[in-house]
Each structure stands twice: as structure tokens, then as C-alpha cells.
Amino acid sequence: MSPLKKSAVLPPFDVNPNAVVVLEKRYFKRDPDSGAVENAEEMFRRVASAVASQESAYRKSPWKAQDLARAFYELMTSWKFLPNSPTLMNAGTGLGQLSACFVLPVGDSIEEIFDAVKHAAMIHKSGGGTGFSFSRLRPKDSRVGSTGGVASGPLSFLRIFNTATEQIKQGGTRRGANMGILRVDHPDIMDFIRAKEREGEFNNFNLSVALTEDFMRSVEKDEEYPLIAPHTGETAGSLNARETFEVLVQKAWESGDPGIVFLDRINRDNPTPEQGAIESTNPCGEQPLLPYEACNLGSVNLARFFQRDAEGGGSVDWEDLSRVIHLSVRFLDNVIDASCFPLPQITEKVRMNRKIGLGVMGWADLLFQLGVPYNSGEALALADKVMSFVQSEARAASKILAEERGAFPAYAQSVFAAREQGPFRNATTTTIAPTGTLSILAGCSSGIEPLFALCFSRNVMDGERLVEVNACFEQAMKDAGCHSKQLMDAVAAKGGIASLDYLPEHLRRIFVTAMDIEPEWHLRQQAVFQQHTDNAVSKTVNLPNSASVDDIRRIYCMAYEMGCKGVTVYRDGCKSSQVLYAGGSNPAAAAKEERTVRGRPDLVYGFTQKVRTGHGIMYVTINEVDGKPFEAFVTIGKSGRSTTAKAEAVGRLVSLALRSGIAVEEIVRQIKGISGEVQVFQPGKHGQVQSIPDGVAWVLENRYLKSKRPLHGENGLGAQHCPDCDEIMIFQEGCLICPACAYTRCG
């Protein structure tokens, strides 16, 4: 059955060290007892063979399946193109579900709502992510005619979806990811905007508000706008548009949620409007889809198309890029035929429209190679040229496939037929999708994002840290005679070189990182790529922690003016400060609320942990309320009065912090690692107990955080750590991802 036999001799290829770890952990076929049962070569053989085998169904194809399988194999192992993760994981396996993103409808009845919950569980189980619009649900307190009761509203049902997701591990490896969208004119919109005020709420959802152009015009004019009850179509009140927009901006400043999508703009690009309006996107926002649609995504690695000329300069190899685009479009169209979808409604819809999304990665690396600063007019001009080329070649490839295989079945009712374009094999051909995991495999920068850091250190084993450097940056430093271990250590500590005045200015201009770039340049790049992308662009506007609410407002307005279909902003470290604003939109009032010390109940239960310290045996008693730590008592036997007093003081202050609502992690972060004059090492147990407060920190961390990572250090309070490998996660392309092991919150 396999076009690529095991005996076939195929060209060797290199796998970078990070990719080895990621492939072993996330992509190889596994046996429940023995672990991975294939290597990288066997994985790519499996995928290439499964996808190429679909070619035999088309008599007009110029390819034989065996030859195409070899071409697909070389396409992927040259790291010039990679399909989305489900294709790499599942092609040629019993599961056979090869799509990453789906959109499901949520209707305004109990039956429809719980059908959507069930269908989402089936998709998550197969390895996909789901998007939902909750805009059809009647607002809370509305009358329910069939029962005479009152509706609980979209947020109550969104909570059910979130809880269901907690119980389903995506593809057997991790929880699924969701997008939840609500129209800005829904009567419950203010509750939705504030849904993530408390950290941990709706943790399996990205949230976005669907903004209309009428609403944005009302914001500009500072006017009231109507709220529409979806179950009746009638006006159910009004809000001031500018005030609503300000709350939206404030919440995005506080936590990064919700994002925004421009619904009218998305539907202007809907290629099949007769099938209905687009209501939602996939979890990272780059793929607007009709209900029950899915999309097969893949990315071309632009860094692999740099060619150096005789004079030492460089350019883009347009001829090879064209070849790869055409082969990639054929690959993605075959994926549709090879995929086993989890629902018959999805199978029908996908094969009716045959949407694919070819995107790019390695953009920052290509700019490095060409010596072009990311935040420059030259970069924008090149982005325009590159993505225009990708889109035109992808459409040309889709036309060729239509001649061989026929147009997508709904073509006659599409906008292309009305405009006398085509015929095309695919309703859409281009998407700029997240490539966090794929870019680790390919050894390139992610999507169209700037590099997050030029150099960073990674945990390897036994506490050792390995410094990793971007290859383009390291080579440029060597060419300039600047390379040294001291420089690499300095860059690892800072992440970039913008502040290193002793380096040549032109190098500091070229090798910029996400935090070096003004927000408007992030947005300009997104807008240029969007102009030549059928679907949408996954991109995060990264901001320093010091960014203001005004900065967020300006970004949102610019995104609207520049023609983006949506935007995600993330202020560095904003999650850690979110508790300060949990009481509402007034930071001062919320902070005051959080400082209230809770009273002590008459009866509490807890535990006592014995810890050996340099001052003797310490007993740490933690009492709990509602399963959470509430107070601490710290005593040391056979020690002097001074030591006893210090222990009691630590316990009292920890108790005060706990009863004031301060998170255990923040308490541990403050007191762990405090060094005393007498330290004790306990092999195989606590490790080094450096002092009384350090011992208390160990008890809290071991009991409540279930993590052995260091909570103090140079990374600051805003760092979020990977639950798999404990490295610091970064927020880009609309999602938290781990650059070390490729864990992602977004599926």
C-alpha cells in the first residue's frame, strides 16, 4: 500500500537537536509499553506515503504516487515545507485525522448546545482545536418559552464547554484548545469582556470580541449603539460604544484577553457567502471558518530560499520558491482526501469547499540573512513582494489542480464564479498560521514574528544550562569579528543586543527582537501580509510591561484602519499583575479589595511538615480553608529565643499574605532561596535548606505548586513556565508556547 517502500534509498537529512527532542515527545508513533516505534526518517516516509497515495484517484495527474511520495519526502526533509502537526502525527495511522482547526455551531437550544459540547469532545480527542461563536444564545434572564424559565446566558454555557475540555486530552497528549467569540452587540457583551478578570477562569479558551464596522463608527463618534437579542432580533437596550471599547482595551491591557476580530471584514472575504456568514475562527484566530468547516494548514520556510550572490550579498530564490509552493498546494489538497474527519457534517463541508491554508515561517531569519531590519520600510516592501508571490503562485497551483481534478464542488456558487475567476480547486489557499512547533522542527523563526530572543539558555539535565544562539546572528557576529563567549553570555542574559552600545550600530538595527520593536511595526507587518492572505494572519503585538492602556487603544484602532482581520496584544508579565484588577475595571478599588484580610474561622484543618534546618528541626503547620492554604505556624525546637522569634515572624507574615489573597507562588517566589548563616543539605529529600524562610518555601512549593522549578531569579514575576519541561513560555502568534519543548496552550 505504501508508495515509499522501506528498501527505497532516500537522501539523508539533518535534524537539529531541539527537533530530536520534540519529535520523540510529540510526533513519533508510540507503543503504550515501549514508547516511540519510529524515527524521523520513518515518520516522514509514513506521512509522504499516506498523502501521496491519494494521487492515484486522479487519472489526469502527471504524478505517479511513488514519485510524488519521494517528492513530498524531500520537500519536508529539506525543511522547506511542513504540514500542520496533526498531519505529521496521524497520517498513515489508524486515527487518520489530519486537520488542526475546526469551527462548530452553537445554537440557541439545549439540544444544539450539548451537541456542540459532544462534537467538540470528539474533535479534541482526535487532536483538533475548535472555535465557537456564542452569539446565537439568548442573553441571561431571557424567558425560555418551552419551560417558562429564564436563560442563563452565553457565559454559563461557555463555562460548561471549558469544563468539558478539561476532561479530554487532545489526541491523547494534552487538553484541547478553543476560541470563544461573542458579537459586540450581544446584550451580555460586558460580562464576556470581563470573563477573564480572575486568572484561571476559562483557561481552555482564547476569547475574542467580534467588532462590526457600525460599532467602530459609533466609537469614533462617541455614540450609543444598540444591543440586539439574537433569539428575537429585537433591540434589547444600548451601550455607549466608546465606553464599551475602553473596557475592552482595559481588559486586554490587564491580561491579553479578550482579543478582537473584525467580523464585517472577515465576511467580505468569505468565498462562499451563499452558504452563510462566518461567525468564528479557530483557536488562534487565523482561520475564519463556516460552521462544520475545517482547514488543512502548512507553512513554507522562507529562510531556506535565501541565496548568496557572488558579491557576498543575497536574494530570494524565487524559482525554487515557486516550485515548493506548487508542490505544497498539491500536498495540502491531498491531505483533504487522506483525512478521516470526526463528524460526517465536517467531512461534507470540508470536501464541498476544500479550503487549504499555505503560510510562511522563517520570516525573521530571512530578514537577518538579507540584512534587513524587521522594523523598516524595506522589510514591509519585501513582505508585500513575498506574500503577493506566495498567494499568486498558490492560486495558480490551485487552478492547475482544478484542471486535473475539477473545481471545489461549491465553486459555481462562490464569489470566484461571479467574478469569472478560476476555476479553483480550493476556496481558499493561504493562511498565516502559528508555527511554534513546526519552526522548532525546521530550525527557523516562527511564522512572521520577530525573534523573541537572539540567544537563550535552556535546562538540559542535573541543573546544567545550555546556551543556544540563533544561527544567523552567530554567523553575523563571527563575520564582524565580534563573536566571543562573553558576548553570547551577555546576549543570553538580555535576550537581544539593542542596549549593547559597543556593537556596530548596523548590527543592532538588523538583529532586533520582539521587545525591541515598536508596536506599530508589529502591526504594519501583519497588515502587509494580510493584504495577500485569503484567510487571516496569526500574529501577536508584543508590548513591554510598561506599556499603557493608551498603547493598546492605539493598536486596536490602527488594526481597524490598516485592514487587519483581528489582532492580539500581549503586555509582558500582565498575567502576574491581573489579580490587582480582579475586582472590576477600577484598579484602585480592586487593589483595595485584594488587601482585605479574611477573618479566621473557628475551626480549621491542616497538616504539619517536619523540616531539618541549620538551627534544628523545624515544624511547619499549614491550615487550610476550602482546600487552600490559609495560615502558617512555624516553630523550631531546642533553639534560642532569637531563632524562635524569627520562625514565628515568618509564620505570621506568611499567614497575613495568605489571608490577604496573595498567591502561594508569589509568596514562595519572595522567600525561597534566602540564605542563612547555617545551611543543611539533605540528599534525596529537600536538597539544600538554606534558612528558615527557605524551608517554609519548600513546604509551600512541594504541597501546592507541585513544581521543582526555581521561582526566584532574573526572569521576574511575570514569567510563565511550561508544565512539561519547566522552561519559560512566550506569547506569540496568539498563544502561549514553549520554545524549548514545543508545548502550546492552543493545540
Q: Residues 6 or more apart from 679 whose CB is under 8 A from it?
A: 614, 688, 689, 690, 691
Residues 259 and 361 in one domain: no
Residue 525 lies in a domain: no
Residue 62 lies in a domain: yes
Instruction: Please report whether residue 7 resides in a domain.
Output: no
Domain membership of residue 148 as a residue range:
101-281
The pLDDT of 212-231, averaged and rounded, is 97
CA-CA distance, 452 to 436, in Å (whole number)? 12
Work out the average pLDDT over 103-118. 96
The chain-wide mean pLDDT, for the chain, equals: 88
Tally of domains within the chain = 4
Specify whether 277 is located in the same domain as 373: no
Q: Of 31-35, 251-255, 443-447, 514-518, which range is least confident?
A: 31-35
Of the three residues 387, 413, 438, the one that is the final residue of a domain is: 438
The domain boundary residue, chosen from 470, 488, 512: 512
631 is catalytic: no
Pick the catalytic residue from 18, 90, 282, 542: 282
Same domain, 225 and 339: no
Domain identity same for 126 and 208: yes
Q: Is 122 part of a structural domain of the chain?
A: yes
Q: Quick: pLDDT tens for 418-429.
A: 998 989 999 999
Q: Do strands 730-732 and 280-281 pair parallel, antiparallel, or not at all (unpaired)?
A: unpaired
Residues 129 and 205 in one domain: yes
β-strand partners of 719: none
- Identify whether 665 is a catalytic site residue: no
Alpha helices, DSSP H only, in 277-370? 318-338, 344-353, 363-370
Tell the residue number behind the cell numbers 477600577, with chain if given.
586
Say which DSSP state 744 is in: B
682-693 burial: b if 16+ Cβ within 10 Å, else e: eeeebeebbbbb
Domain end, chosen from 281, 316, 331, is at 281
Q: How far apart are CA 631 and CA 657, in angstroms?
A: 9
> Are residue 87 and residue 167 in the same domain, yes or no?
no
In the numeric block, the cell 444598540 is attached to: 226
282: annotated active-site residue: yes
Distant-in-sequence, close-in-space partners of 611: CB < 8 Å, separation ≥ 6? 617, 618, 619, 620, 686, 689, 695, 696, 698, 699
Catalytic residue among 101, 284, 472, 741: 284
Residue 583 predicted with pLDDT over 50: no
Q: Are residues 225 and 347 in the same domain?
A: no
Annotated catalytic residue, options 254, 279, 286, 293: 286
DSSP string, 393-438: HHHHHHHHHHHHH---TTGGGSHHHHTT----S-S--B-B---HHH
**Same structural domain for residues 223 and 123?**
yes
Q: Where are the beta strands (DSSP E) in 598-713?
A: 605-613, 616-625, 628-636, 680-682, 687-689
Residue 107 and residue 72 share a domain: no
All cell numbers assigned to 297: 494548514
Q: Answer yes or no: is 12 within a domain.
A: no
**Domain presence at residue 691:** yes
> What is the per-residue pLDDT for 743?
78
Instruction: Give 569's strand partners.
Output: 541
Are 496 and 616 in the same domain? no
Tell me if 140 is assigned to some domain: yes
Specify if 287 maps to a domain. no
Does 83 share its domain with 130? no
CA 122 to chain centroid: 21
**Grid cell digits, residue 363:** 520570516
| Rounded-to-integer distance, Cα 51 and Cα 297, Å | 14
398 and 481 share one domain: no
CATH code (residue 216)? 3.20.70.20
- Higher confidence at residue 34 or residue 1? 34
- Of 460 and 337, the structure prediction assigns the larger pLDDT to 337
Range with lowest mean pLDDT among 146-155, 291-300, 419-428, 586-595: 586-595
Averaged pLDDT, 175-193: 94
Segment 699-713 shows an average pLDDT of 62
Q: How confident is the model at residue 505 (pLDDT cuts 50, 70, 90)?
A: very high
